[in-house]
Amino acid sequence: MLPDTSRPFHVVCDASDFAIGCALMQFDAEGRERVVSYQSRQMKPAEKNYPVHDKELLAMRYALIKFRVYLLGEQTFAVYTDHASLRTAMKSPHLSQRMARWLSFFAEYNFVVHYKPGKNNILADALSRRPDYDPRRLTRHQDIPDDDDDDDDCATCVTLGINATVSSPVLPLRQQIADAYEEDAFYAAIIRYLRNPAADTLAKLTRPTRDAITRYDLDGDLLTYAIDTFDTPRVVIPADDDLRARLVHEYHDAPAGGHLGREKTFAALSRDFFWPRIVQAGSASSATHRHERVAICQHGLHLRPST
């Protein structure tokens, strides 16, 4: 269902040995529980070694990041987990350094953790145990295949390959992004280094770029960006006005988007994609970004050259 901001949201989340999953939920006017959005991803190698408590907290943190635009500033909402001791673990005086860091993040939100037995937490449990995430069935770099057809959650959406969803067709868009890197000297240099991490390719990067190079990674033909190991990687979008305009329209006008306003459109974009000043591009105070100005009217979103 489309999100109804007049009704409270709640979150279900779960972690398995190899993946995490979550869903944003609401009750409709008839009192039926409905899904607003699904999210899941494979665990990174280091995350698979986390203790059970931390894996469950990782799933919770992932949910709050993914659904931030709906939950931050919301009145008290519920988070349901099938790990009963998690409610008390968060209040324990003996916290790991990782858990202590995450608690400061959780403090931004106003939520209550509830225990939901695994047999009743079917949705989140299934998302965290997707067969295509099971390492026993995958080899490295096959986390989410390019031709992934697992679109049961949203008939109008398909996946780019790293948790980002846009309207189909996916291959032309993915190819458009990859081709645009070749026309952007800055990101092309980063990609050359990541493919050949030698001293000579590193020396060709500017010093600020060298200092931040660990934030970049490659997912097939896509460049991704993450602030640190706890941040969800986002697809880097180069300085291509047509490409950025396409993404804005995809997120604003897609049926699953519910015709979002300007700020929510760019908030949704910034969860999945990265380009400099993407948030400022969607803010009410500054709608100018490079060669385009974004204006959302009552009937839609239009991109027109700035003067």
Name the range with the highest mean pLDDT among 148-157, 268-277, 294-303.
268-277
Q: How many CB atoms lie within 10 A of CB 115?
A: 14
Single-letter residue type at 160:
L
Is 70 a member of any domain?
yes
Here the CATH number for the domain that contains residue 80 is 3.30.420.10
Is 273 a member of any domain?
yes
| Cα 17 from Cα 10, distance rounded (Å) | 24
Q: Identify the CA nearest to 41 among candidates 257, 226, 232.
A: 232
Cα dist from 257 to 76, 109, 207, 231, whole Å: 24, 23, 39, 23
Domain count, the chain: 2
Q: What is the pTM of this model?
A: 0.43
Domain that holds residue 279: 241-305
Of residues 119 and 147, which shows the higher confidence score?
Answer: 119
Report the pLDDT value the prediction gives residue 166, as an integer from 0 to 100: 38
Report the pLDDT value the prediction gives residue 77, as an integer from 0 to 100: 92
Is 196 a member of any domain?
no
Produce one character per residue of 276-306: b if its CB has 16 or more CB atoms within 10 Å, e if not: eebeebbeeeebebeebbbebeeeebebeee
With tokens 């040995």, the residue in question is 17
Is 87 a member of any domain?
yes
Examine the fold and report which residue of 108, 143, 178 is the final residue of a domain before the chain moves on.
143
Query: pLDDT by residue (tens digit) across 40-71?
Result: 888 888 888 888 878 888 888 999 988 888 89
Residue 229: pLDDT band by 50, 70, 90 thresholds?
A: confident
Q: Are residues 139 and 14 in the same domain?
A: yes
Query: pLDDT by residue (tens digit) across 78-133?
Result: 998 876 555 666 666 666 777 778 888 888 889 988 877 655 555 555 655 555 55
Average pLDDT, the chain: 70
Examine the fold and report which residue of 143, 166, 185 is the final residue of a domain before the chain moves on.
143
Query: pLDDT by residue (tens digit) across 63-77?
Result: 998 888 889 887 889
Cis check: omega of the bond before 169, within 30 degrees of 0: yes
Is 85 a member of any domain?
yes
